[in-house]
């Protein structure tokens, strides 16, 4: 994945950060998974909110993303 | 000493079966279990919202989202375990009734390691290079898309919308509060 070729903006920091990401660290992965779970929960609830009021009225698009 | 009837001794005739002990007042409801928030009612509602087929069932691959709609934050791994590590085909095609779903929901509700505010903040603090309460939005994007249960780009965009300041930094304590407000 040539990340450094994709962006025209000079973001050298991002390259460093890529090196820094502890891809194999089980604890970092576990922490990330917990955070992601919280985020997914939040996003689902946010998406549900207008539907709650409309009681399914707004179910025009499939939520099968 | 004429024998006199003792007026105090009640003459016990056959009493009609009036229940002396039980008061006619309505019995008070048993003390509600603190963790029994009205999940069941909203669970029924949420479950119904997700049933697109009309067979009073939902697909395996909807279970996690119904739980999230009900305020839980299961990892996909948690849910897969509950479902018995289904194949992709089963995830899409196997369906479960509300009765089947409820104990799964209960397991998640009762799970001991639920993350709270502190956990999220601590988790994000790991990426706070300068220890100043902020993380780079760009770095967070990378972490969320490469570690753990990767988020896709659309999810990350939705999540981060409006969260980065003009320097591309995110105050993660505020971020977590925002996340937890829904």
- Residue A63's closest CA among A50, A44, A49, A39? A44
Does residue B39 contact residue B109 with C-beta atoms inside 8 Å?
yes
Instruction: Give the residue on B whose Cα is nearest the Cα of A62.
Output: B52
Assigned domain for A19 exists: no
Closest chain B C-alpha to A10 CA, distance in angstroms:
13
Assigned domain for A39 exists: yes
Encoded tokens for B126: 């790991």
- Residue B16's SS3 state is coil
Residue A17 near chain B (CB below 8 Å): yes
Assigned domain for A35 exists: yes
- Residue B70's SS3 state is coil
Q: Longest C-alpha distance within chain B, in Å?
A: 110
Assigned domain for A2 exists: no
Cβ separation B151–A21 shorter than 8 A = no
The pTM of this model reads: 0.69
Assigned domain for A44 exists: yes
Q: Go through the domains of chain B in sequence order and give each one's CATH number.
A: 41-110 (1.10.238.10), 117-180 (1.10.238.10)
- Residue A29's closest CA among B135, B73, B144? B144
Closest chain B C-alpha to A12 CA, distance in angstroms:
11
**Residues with Cβ within 8 Å of residue B71, at least 6 apart in sequence:** A41, A45
Q: Binning pLDDT at 50, 70 and 90, where does residue A30 land? A: confident
pLDDT (tens digit per residue) in B60-119: 999 999 999 999 999 999 999 999 999 999 999 999 999 999 999 999 999 987 889 999
Q: Binning pLDDT at 50, 70 and 90, where does residue B39 land? A: low
Closest chain B C-alpha to A18 CA, distance in angstroms:
7
Q: Calculate the CA A32 to chain-centre distance.
A: 11
The per-residue pLDDT for B113 is 78
Does the pLDDT value for residue A4 go beyond 90?
Answer: no
Instruction: Give the residue on B whose Cα is nearest the Cα of A56.
Output: B49
Which chain B residues have a beta carbon less than 8 Å from that of A65? Answer: 154
How far apart (Å, rounded) are the C-alpha atoms in residues B164 and B180?
A: 17
Domain that holds residue A29: 24-49
In SS3 terms, chain A reads as: CCHHHHCCCCCHHHHHHHHHCCCCCHHHHHHHHHHHHHHHHHHHHHHHHHHHHHCCCCCCCCCCC
Cβ separation B155–A39 shorter than 8 A = yes
Assigned domain for A65 exists: no
The per-residue pLDDT for B181 is 87
In chain A, the number of structural domains is: 1
Cβ separation A38–B144 shorter than 8 A = no
Nearest CB to B68 within list A18, A33, A45: A45
Cβ separation B159–A41 shorter than 8 A = no
Assigned domain for A61 exists: no
Encoded tokens for A3: 């990340």
């Amino acid at each position: 994945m040539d990340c450094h070729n994709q962006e025209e903006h000079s973001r050298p920091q991002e390259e460093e950060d890529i090196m820094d990401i502890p891809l194999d660290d089980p604890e970092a992965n576990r922490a990330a998974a917990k955070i992601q779970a919280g985020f997914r929960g939040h996003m689902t609830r946010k998406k549900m909110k207008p539907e709650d009021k409309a009681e399914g009225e707004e179910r025009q698009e499939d939520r099968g993303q | 000493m004429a024998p006199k009837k003792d007026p105090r001794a009640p003459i016990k005739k056959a009493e009609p079966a009036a229940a002396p002990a039980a008061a006619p007042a309505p019995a008070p409801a048993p003390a509600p279990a603190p963790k029994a928030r009205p999940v069941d009612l909203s669970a029924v509602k949420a479950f119904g919202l997700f049933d697109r087929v009309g067979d009073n069932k939902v697909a395996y691959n909807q279970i996690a989202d119904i739980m999230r709609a009900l305020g839980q934050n299961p990892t996909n791994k948690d849910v897969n375990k509950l479902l018995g590590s289904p194949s992709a085909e089963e995830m899409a095609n196997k369906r479960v009734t509300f009765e089947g779903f409820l104990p799964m929901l209960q397991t998640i509700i009762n799970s001991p390691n639920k993350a709270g505010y502190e956990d999220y903040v601590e988790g994000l603090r790991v990426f706070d290079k300068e220890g100043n309460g902020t993380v780079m939005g760009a770095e967070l994007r990378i972490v969320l898309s490469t570690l753990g249960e990767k988020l896709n780009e659309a999810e990350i965009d939705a999540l981060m919308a409006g969260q980065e300041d003009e320097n591309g930094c995110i105050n993660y304590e505020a971020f977590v509060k925002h996340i937890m407000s829904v």
